[in-house]
């Protein structure tokens, strides 16, 4: 069962969605707090940060039995470098992530 709703955080409407026992929140809506015109750029900058990659990797290790550790090591090695770019789609496809979904449209990127 899927239930969609919104919450207001610091004056910003943020969509969340409950799928089965998991809650997903919209990273796009959160990123709009920093830049309403280019929230995708905010998400990419957040995801290229070494601390973010370490957090996402730890979450997947704990909750994802099909986590691709080898691909994670490649991403983790490059995280934080100037030329490093990571998108939600690349993260999901590379490491077989389950903690994030990527959708085209208004509510593009969600994190569980």
Q: What is the pLDDT of residues 47-82, one digit of tens each?
A: 999 999 999 999 999 999 999 999 999 999 999 899
Is this structure's pTM higher than 0.75? yes
* Number of Cβ within a 10 Å radius of residue 14: 19
Spatial distance between the Cα atoms of 45 and 63, rounded to a whole number of angstroms: 25
Spatial distance between the Cα atoms of 42 and 18, rounded to a whole number of angstroms: 24
- CB 36 within 8 Å of CB 51: no
For the chain, give every domain's residue range.
2-111
Spatial distance between the Cα atoms of 75 and 83, rounded to a whole number of angstroms: 12
- The backbone torsions φ and ψ at residue 82, rounded to the nearest 5 degrees and listed phi first, read -60, -40
Question: What is the pLDDT of the chain when averaged over all its residues?
Answer: 88
């Amino acid at each position: 069962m899927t239930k969609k709703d919104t919450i207001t955080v610091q004056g910003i409407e943020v969509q969340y969605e409950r799928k089965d026992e998991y809650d997903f929140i919209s990273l796009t809506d959160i990123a709009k707090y920093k830049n309403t015109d280019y929230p995708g750029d905010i998400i990419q900058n957040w995801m290229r940060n070494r601390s973010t990659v370490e957090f996402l990797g730890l979450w997947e290790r704990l909750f994802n039995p099909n986590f691709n550790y080898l691909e994670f090591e490649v991403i983790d090695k490059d995280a934080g470098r100037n030329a490093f770019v990571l998108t939600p789609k690349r993260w999901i496809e590379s490491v077989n992530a389950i903690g994030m979904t990527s959708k085209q449209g208004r509510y593009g990127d969600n994190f569980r």
